[in-house]
């Protein structure tokens, strides 16, 4: 009895590799290129986990920085006043004039006794003052409007420069409400000299608050940097892995062997022979 037999010829078309695809996938979503390359799952999970962690960290630190910024700005708005600053710089402190058994001289006092210093604040005028001097002037012109500083006609523009200046420069220390009685100085040692920094308890507290806010902001920026690097590194790793896999398919460097039994339904034992395969 003749047995029908048939054979099937499978022709494998050469696959075209596009290393740019996993690159773009990882640049869009870190870990996607690794998933495309069928890399170990820990690679995909690592890049994706760092992506999510960076986003969460950025959101947390950015919100914290904004909250702390609102707090220190509110603190400054309540405890720093332009009228207080003018009276302090012109008439000097009404309280102590010495610190750590050291008597202040005119030269020592110069840093905080002149509102026409290196830096200035922007003032917004309204009403008759605006008609006479213009809507905006700088704090160098405080003298000509000194009689109106405690009125609603003069307002300090409380922008980024204002909040930086009142905490950074001795020129503005007199504006703090505790400057008259509680000002003091700290000596900051430089490479070849000693710098005297004038403070008050309120100013010192304000500086600490701004430092904490800026520290949170720096951490938020670091999170964004980590996020960007994660995209780039994931993309580069995806391309390198893809090219490596392509080279291994074209030029395998390992030899694999396999021994298996061939199935034959017409053999009572079901075994039709032994197959020995070598892949290299």
Query: What's the Cα-to-Cα distance from 162 to each of 155, 216, 255, rounded to whole Å?
Result: 12, 21, 73
What is the Cα–Cα distance from 170 to 265, expressed in whole angstroms? 98
Backbone φ and ψ of 159, nearest 5°: -100, -170
pLDDT band at residue 212 using 50, 70 and 90 as cut-offs: very high
pLDDT band at residue 48 using 50, 70 and 90 as cut-offs: very high
Q: What is the pLDDT of residues 260-276, one digit of tens each?
A: 545 555 554 444 554 54
* pLDDT number for residue 101: 58
Residues 6 or more apart in contact with residue 269 via CB below 8 angstroms: none
Q: What is the pLDDT of residues 110-138, one digit of tens each?
A: 667 778 878 899 999 999 999 999 999 99
The answer to whether residue 218 scores a pLDDT higher than 90 is: yes
Average pLDDT of every residue of the chain: 81
* pLDDT number for residue 268: 47
Backbone φ and ψ of 16, nearest 5°: -100, 125
* pLDDT number for residue 83: 92
Residues 6 or more apart in contact with residue 146 via CB below 8 angstroms: 86, 90
Q: What does the chain look like in DSSP terms, one character per residue?
A: -----------PPPPPP-THHHHHHHHHSTTHHHHHTT--HHHHHHHHHHHHHHHHHHHHHHHHHHHHHHHHHHHHHHHB-HHHHHHHHHH--SS--EETTEEPPHHHHGGGS-SSSSS--EEEE-HHHHHHH-SEEEGGGGGGGGGGTTSTTEEE--SHHHHHHHHH-GGGGGGBTTHHHH-EEEEEE-SSSEEEEEE-HHHHHHHHHHHHHHHHHHHHHHHHHHHHHHHHHHHHHHHHHHHHHHHHHHS--S-EEEEEEEE-TTSTTSEEEEEEEEE-
* pLDDT number for residue 264: 57
The answer to whether residue 78 scores a pLDDT higher than 90 is: yes
* pLDDT number for residue 79: 96
Backbone φ and ψ of 261, nearest 5°: -95, 140
What is the Cα–Cα distance from 203 to 143, expressed in whole angstroms? 25
């Amino acid at each position: 009895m003749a047995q029908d037999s048939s054979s099937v010829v499978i022709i494998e078309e050469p696959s075209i590799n596009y290393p740019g695809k996993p690159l773009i996938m990882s640049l869009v979503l870190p870990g996607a290129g690794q998933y495309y390359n069928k890399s170990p799952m820990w690679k995909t999970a690592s890049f994706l986990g760092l992506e999510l962690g960076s986003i969460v960290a950025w959101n947390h630190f950015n919100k914290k920085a904004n909250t702390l910024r609102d707090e220190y700005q509110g603190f400054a708005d309540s405890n720093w006043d332009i009228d207080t600053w003018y009276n302090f710089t012109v008439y000097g402190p009404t309280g102590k004039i010495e610190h750590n058994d050291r008597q202040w001289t005119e030269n020592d006092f110069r840093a905080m006794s002149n509102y026409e210093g290196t830096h200035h604040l922007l003032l917004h005028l309204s009403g008759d003052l605006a008609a006479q001097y213009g809507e905006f002037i700088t704090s160098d012109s405080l003298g000509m409007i000194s009689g109106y500083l405690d009125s609603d006609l003069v307002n300090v523009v409380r922008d980024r420069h204002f909040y930086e200046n009142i905490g950074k420069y001795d020129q503005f220390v007199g504006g703090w409400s505790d400057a008259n009685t509680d000002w003091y100085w700290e000596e900051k040692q430089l490479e070849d000299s000693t710098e005297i920094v004038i403070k008050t308890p309120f100013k010192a507290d304000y500086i600490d608050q701004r430092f904490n806010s800026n520290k949170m902001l720096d951490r938020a920026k670091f999170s964004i940097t980590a996020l960007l690097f994660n995209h780039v590194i994931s993309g580069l790793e995806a391309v390198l892995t893809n090219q490596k896999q392509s080279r291994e398919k074209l030029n395998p460097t390992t030899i694999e062997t396999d021994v298996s039994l061939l199935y034959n339904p017409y053999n009572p034992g079901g075994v039709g022979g032994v197959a020995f395969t070598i892949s290299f």
